[in-house]
């Protein structure tokens, strides 16, 4: 197993939004997807995930709906809203800028 | 998610807690199950897979709590908690709740009432367009006095200025409409205006028919618009009224061309109308040659981009040209633009209303201080509870919020009660001003703001204080029965002092009006109002002419003889209605230089019997006789102060005087001297005006005043007088018929209303202050029960214990009264400045108010002190 990275403060929201931008998922699905996409480098703490989901739902970035899963179980699915998509765009942009700046500083001779 | 759905969701979490919680639990259970299945799939045994999943998830309760915080309006939830808790506390403390509610309800009610008046009479904008560009033009004379604009000047103003649009003239007057056959004549308020009056004001006046046009004015048409209420009342809202003829006592016949909008019926709209407008006639055919006197008000609108200063400069230039062209009439005359009066009240009334508003605010402050005190007492009693809450981890902010919630609930209820009270008192005020006094949105908004502010004010202080509480100290202190700490004690005493000072100022404010009205009603008028009945009427022009018409003299003689035969009447007199006579004018004395500009005399034109009817003392010479008639030598009677000034040490009889008024150009011989009289609200006899009396028969005028004196109640005579008059002249109605007392009461009305409101406000303030002091001292006594028990057990006499409390009370009373007296003198000084003609300033009143307040304080201290001495020492020691 690769070394695990701690999530930077505030980046969980962005990651969840990114995952949801590829399609609707339930909470469990989100943790799975995050682990998969990070090649298991990221382990999402449920204690942070659910408050984050509820917060974003409260802000109207995502919305939830109870539906049946593939194996016929009831689950709460989250989907990105239009304002969530905007939020994701702006967070991505500022993340990229920040990452660029940090890289520039770190790689300076 | 739309904001609406968001809100719905939040509210669902709030109010359908159960369902939301279940959903959250289910969601997390699903997560756990999925992870367990994952473990199973990885080959773990069922037990271990479940444990691993749980371990991974962490503390389920914590996760749920953290999640919950994200989606619930936490503050709202806590608020609901606080509200239900406060409601419980308030229900349990019924006594406190009722006192608090009444105190605030009365305080807020007074303020709501005052604000309703303020809002209705001062703040409500007139329905005129862009009032800032509306100007009123007044004529000024050399001595600085302001007056109306003469017709000649008006036409020049209209034609020769480039700064103003729609220069229009108008005047408000009362007159009678002449009766239709079978109907009594009606007394009316009317406006006569030039055609563009309504255009100047920027209003659309008619709802039926048409308004005045420039063509009407050019053709000198006599046309009228009826006010809506007049149309409904006297024409039964008949639309066929258009084209009918309206006859007035001035000998005019007006064709009715329209009916005005109902909104213009407001009696506060056209300052000067008393019962609302009856009709509006087109003023046309003014004589432009007439320049020495006028009765027109002039209103105009500044042209776009023109400042008031430029208009003023242009008017000044015009005044100089006119003075050059017409030196006889226009020397020294200027024009002045003032803002058009768009408020319902004159300046004095406005000041009174603001004053009442301000003092009502003080009452509310007193109420708040009282409640703050009560709250302090209660938080002291609740020390234990609050201490325990703090000890259990309640934050101070939360504690303050909890206590504030309670005071806010009281103040909200108090606001509601206040609105109810205001609803009731407004009805009475509306009758006074003859306008509606609606509790509209603005008033209700005001009440809400005031209630919230009051709640915050009396809630904050004790709440802040309570949260300063040291946890340990408060829990320990509650267990013993010691005196409360010094800081809190000081605070309460300071509140009492402030309360006393404010109550004193309130009383002094009310006293100012009580004393002023007393001085005015008890002054020596130089005449006797008791038993005097006064009627005003206008004879119609067609049958009686204007001035010095023999027909009016014949009519007058008949009127006097018929009225004199009424039962109980012992004197009847006629004079000209002092529409013009009241304005003092210059006079001239034979053999002396003409007209001293600043010396004026009021002119009265009484018939024989006038001095007897009014009880004015004849000091020298004779009264007028029936033989002083047109054709006989001109005679005059003057007042004592005038005789004193011009003929000191000798008799004025036989001397000759004249007046500026063209009607009195020949010299008149002084045949009598009568006592000085006071007019209007004058109260200082030294300020009594000079008066010149000319006989009515030599100066008859169609505007008449009839004065009767009867030995009985003049009110009872009214019907008989009306009936008798109706027999002599059925076409004319009295414009006013009432006792002299009533007339004087009308002059005083604004002050009477102010006095009434202020006396109630101050009474309330005094009551609240007394209750507040009583409450604090009683509470102090209760807290010191044990100490008193010990003192008494050790041999203290009841007298000593009473002095213990009285001493404290006296100290508070003296400090509070001292501060209050300083404030009251300041207030009196300010009032004397604002209401310079009103004789309310009297240091004795302020002083005696101080004594009243000290007495009340001492009684409020003495009662609980006496109670404390009745304590059985043994019981006291065992207390707590």
Nearest to B630 by CA among B551, B559, B541, B707: B551
Q: CB burial class (10 A; 0-12, 13-18, 19+) of residue B867? A: middle
- Name chain B contacts of A58, Cβ cutoff 8 Å: 6, 10, 70-71
- The 3-class secondary structure across A1-21, one letter per residue, is CCCCCCCCCCHHHHHHHHHHC
CB contact under 8 A, A47 and B59: yes
Which secondary structure element, helix H or strand E, spans residue B90, and what is its range? helix B74-92
Q: How far apart are CA B733 and CA B249, in angstroms?
A: 10
CB contact under 8 A, B70 and A26: no
CB contact under 8 A, A75 and B3: no
**Would you call B790 helix, strand, or coil by DSSP?**
helix
Kindly state whether A28 is in contact with chain B, defined as any CB-CB distance less than 8 angstroms: yes
State residue B577's pLDDT score: 72
Kindly state whether A75 is in contact with chain B, defined as any CB-CB distance less than 8 angstroms: yes
Q: Which residues of B308-342 are buried (b: 16+ CB within 10 A; e: fewer)?
A: eeebbebbeebbeebeeebeebbeebbbebeebbb
- Contact between A35 and A2 under an 8 Å Cβ cutoff? The reply is no
CB contact under 8 A, A54 and B56: no
CB contact under 8 A, A51 and B69: yes
Give the Cβ contact number of residue A39 at 10 Å: 9
- Name chain A contacts of B71, Cβ cutoff 8 Å: 54-55, 57-58
State residue B706's pLDDT score: 92
State residue A1's pLDDT score: 37
Give the Cβ contact number of residue B810 at 10 Å: 15
Nearest to B801 by CA among B812, B814, B817, B785: B785
State residue B333's pLDDT score: 83
CB contact under 8 A, A47 and B30: no
CB contact under 8 A, B70 and A54: yes
Task: Indicate if the pLDDT at residue A2 is higher than 60.
Answer: no
The list of chain B residues with pLDDT below 70 reads 1-7, 9-17, 70-75, 178-184, 271-276, 293, 342-346, 463, 465-487, 578-583, 594-598, 660-665, 680-681, 876-880
* CATH level 2 (architecture), domain A11-107: Orthogonal Bundle (1.10)
Contacts of B198 (CB under 8 A, 6+ apart): B204, B205, B211, B212
State residue B787's pLDDT score: 79
Kindly state whether A50 is in contact with chain B, defined as any CB-CB distance less than 8 angstroms: yes
Q: How far is A76 from chain B (nearest CA, A)?
A: 6
Nearest to B525 by CA among B300, B404, B683, B726: B683
Q: Which of A47, A53, A73 to mutate to test the interface with B (most CBs of B within 10 A)?
A: A47
- Name chain B contacts of A46, Cβ cutoff 8 Å: 28, 31, 56-58, 63
- Name chain A contacts of B56, Cβ cutoff 8 Å: 46
CB contact under 8 A, B57 and A27: no
**Would you call B179 helix, strand, or coil by DSSP?**
coil
State residue B874's pLDDT score: 72
Q: Which of B21, B25, B34, B57 to mutate to test the interface with A (most CBs of A within 10 A)?
A: B34
Q: CB burial class (10 A; 0-12, 13-18, 19+) of residue B307? A: exposed
Give B871's DSSP letter. Answer: S
Kindly state whether A45 is in contact with chain B, defined as any CB-CB distance less than 8 angstroms: yes
Residue B403 token pair? 């206590």
Residue B3 token pair? 């904001």
Give B149's DSSP letter. Answer: B
List the single residue in A51, A60, A75 with the smallest CB-CB distance to B70: A51
- Contact between B515 and B835 under an 8 Å Cβ cutoff? The reply is no
Q: How far apart are CA B585 and CA B487, in angstroms?
A: 69
CB contact under 8 A, B27 and A27: yes
- Name chain B contacts of A63, Cβ cutoff 8 Å: 1
CB contact under 8 A, A75 and B30: yes
State residue B792's pLDDT score: 80
Q: Which of A29, A50, A55, A56 to mutate to test the interface with B (most CBs of B within 10 A)?
A: A50
> From start to end of B593-702, where are the E strands?
601-604, 618-621, 635-639, 656-659, 668-674, 690-693
State residue B467's pLDDT score: 57
Nearest CA in chain A to B61: A47
- Contact between B205 and B225 under an 8 Å Cβ cutoff? The reply is yes
- Name chain B contacts of A85, Cβ cutoff 8 Å: none
Residue B127 token pair? 């329905």
Q: Which of B14, B21, B31, B36 to mutate to test the interface with A (most CBs of A within 10 A)?
A: B31
CB contact under 8 A, B30 and A26: yes
Phi, psi torsion values for B875, nearest 5 degrees:
-60, -40
- Contact between B206 and B259 under an 8 Å Cβ cutoff? The reply is yes
Query: What percent of chain A is modeled with pLDDT above 90?
Result: 17
List the single residue in A47, A55, A66 with the smallest CB-CB distance to B58: A47
Q: How far apart are CA B869 and CA B29, in angstroms?
A: 70
In order of B4, B15, B16, B309, the CA distances from B8 in angstroms are 6, 10, 11, 59
């Amino acid at each position: 197993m690769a070394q695990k990275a701690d999530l930077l403060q505030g980046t969980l929201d962005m990651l969840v939004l990114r995952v949801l931008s590829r399609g609707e998922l339930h909470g469990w699905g989100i943790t799975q997807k995050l682990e998969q996409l990070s090649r298991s480098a990221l382990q999402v703490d449920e204690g942070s995930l659910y408050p984050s989901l509820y917060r974003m739902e409260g802000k109207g970035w995502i919305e939830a709906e109870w539906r049946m899963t593939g194996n016929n179980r009831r689950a709460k699915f989250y989907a990105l809203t239009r304002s969530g998509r905007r939020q994701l765009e702006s967070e991505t942009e500022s993340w990229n800028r920040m990452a660029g700046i940090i890289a520039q500083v770190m790689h300076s001779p | 998610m739309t904001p609406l759905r968001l809100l719905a969701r939040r509210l669902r979490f709030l109010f359908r807690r159960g369902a939301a919680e279940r959903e959250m639990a289910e969601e997390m259970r699903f997560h756990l199950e999925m992870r367990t299945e994952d473990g199973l799939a990885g080959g773990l045994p069922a037990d271990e897979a479940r444990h691993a999943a749980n371990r991974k998830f962490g503390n389920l309760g914590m996760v749920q709590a953290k999640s919950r915080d994200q989606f619930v309006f936490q503050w709202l939830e806590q608020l609901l908690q606080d509200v239900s808790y406060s409601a419980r506390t308030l229900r349990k403390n019924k006594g406190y709740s009722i006192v608090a509610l009444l105190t605030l309800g009365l305080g807020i009610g007074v303020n709501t009432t005052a604000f309703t008046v303020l809002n209705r009479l001062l703040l409500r904008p007139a329905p005129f367009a862009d009032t800032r560009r509306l100007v009123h033009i007044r004529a000024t004379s050399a001595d600085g006095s302001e007056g109306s604009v003469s017709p000649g000047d008006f036409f020049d103003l209209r034609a020769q200025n480039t700064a103003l649009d729609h220069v229009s003239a108008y005047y408000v007057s009362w007159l009678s409409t002449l009766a239709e056959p079978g109907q009594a004549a009606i007394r009316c308020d009317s406006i006569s205006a030039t055609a563009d009056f309504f255009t100047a004001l920027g209003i659309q006046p008619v709802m039926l028919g048409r308004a005045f046009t420039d063509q009407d004015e050019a053709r000198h048409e006599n046309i009228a618009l009826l006010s809506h209420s007049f149309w409904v009342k006297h024409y039964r809202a008949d639309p066929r009224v258009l084209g009918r003829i309206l006859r007035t006592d001035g000998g005019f016949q007006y064709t009715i061309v329209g009916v005005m909008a109902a909104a213009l019926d407001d009696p506060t709209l056209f300052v000067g109308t008393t019962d609302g407008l009856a009709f509006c006639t087109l003023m046309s055919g003014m004589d432009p040659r007439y320049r020495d006197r006028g009765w027109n008000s002039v209103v105009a609108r500044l042209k776009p981009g023109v400042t008031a200063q430029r208009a003023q400069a242009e008017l000044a230039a015009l005044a100089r040209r006119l003075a050059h062209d017409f030196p006889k009439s226009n020397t020294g005359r200027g024009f002045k633009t003032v803002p058009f009066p768009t408020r319902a009240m004159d300046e004095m009334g406005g000041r009174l209303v603001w004053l009442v508003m301000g003092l009502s605010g003080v009452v509310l402050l007193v109420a708040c201080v009282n409640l703050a005190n009560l709250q302090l007492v209660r938080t002291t009693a609740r020390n234990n509870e609050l201490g325990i809450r703090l000890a259990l981890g309640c934050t101070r902010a939360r504690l303050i919020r909890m206590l504030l919630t309670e005071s806010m609930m009281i103040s909200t209820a108090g606001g509601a009660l206040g609105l109810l009270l205001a609803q009731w008192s407004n009805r009475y005020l509306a009758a006074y001003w003859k306008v509606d006094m609606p509790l509209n949105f603005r008033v209700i908004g005001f009440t809400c703001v005031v209630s919230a502010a009051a709640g915050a004010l009396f809630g904050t202080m004790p709440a802040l204080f309570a949260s300063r509480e040291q946890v340990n100290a408060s829990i320990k202190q509650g267990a013993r029965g010691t005196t409360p700490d010094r800081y809190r004690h000081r605070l309460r005493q300071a509140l009492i002092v402030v309360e006393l000072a404010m109550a004193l100022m309130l009383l002094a404010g009310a006293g100012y009006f009580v004393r002023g009205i007393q001085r005015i009603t008890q002054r020596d008028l130089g005449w006797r109002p008791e038993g005097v009945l006064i009627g005003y009427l206008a004879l119609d022009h067609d049958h009686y002419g204007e001035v010095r018409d023999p027909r009016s003299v014949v009519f007058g003689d008949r009127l006097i003889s018929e009225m004199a035969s009424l039962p109980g009447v012992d004197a009847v007199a006629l004079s000209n209605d002092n529409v013009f006579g009241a304005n003092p004018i210059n006079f001239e004395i034979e053999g002396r230089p003409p007209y001293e500009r600043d010396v004026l005399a009021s002119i009265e034109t009484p018939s024989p019997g006038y001095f007897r009817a009014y009880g004015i003392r004849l000091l020298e010479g004779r009264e007028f006789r029936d033989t002083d008639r047109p054709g006989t030598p001109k005679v005059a009677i003057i007042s004592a102060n005038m005789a004193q000034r011009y003929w000191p040490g000798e008799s004025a009889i036989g001397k000759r005087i004249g007046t500026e008024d063209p009607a009195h150009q020949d010299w008149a011989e002084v045949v009598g001297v009568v006592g000085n009289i006071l007019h209007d609200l004058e109260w200082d006899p030294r300020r009594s005006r000079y008066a010149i009396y000319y006989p009515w028969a030599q100066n008859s005028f169609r505007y008449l005043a009839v004065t009767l004196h009867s030995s009985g109640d003049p009110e009872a005579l009214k019907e008989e007088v009306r009936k008798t008059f109706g027999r002599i002249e059925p076409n004319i109605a009295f414009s006013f018929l009432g006792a002299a007392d009533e007339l004087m009461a009308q002059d005083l009305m604004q002050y009477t209303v102010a006095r009434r409101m202020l006396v109630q406000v101050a009474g309330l303030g005094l009551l609240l202050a007394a209750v507040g002091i009583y409450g604090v001292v009683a509470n102090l006594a209760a807290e010191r029960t044990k100490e008193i028990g010990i003192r008494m057990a050790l041999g203290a006499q009841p007298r000593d214990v009473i002095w213990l409390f009285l001493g404290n009370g006296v100290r508070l009373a003296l400090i509070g009264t001292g501060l209050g007296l300083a404030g009251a003198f300041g207030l009196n000084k300010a009032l004397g400045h604002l209401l310079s003609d009103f004789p309310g300033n009297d240091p004795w009143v302020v002083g005696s108010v101080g004594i009243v307040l000290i007495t009340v304080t001492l009684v409020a201290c003495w009662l609980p002190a006496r109670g404390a001495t009745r304590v059985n020492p043994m019981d006291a020691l065992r207390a707590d």
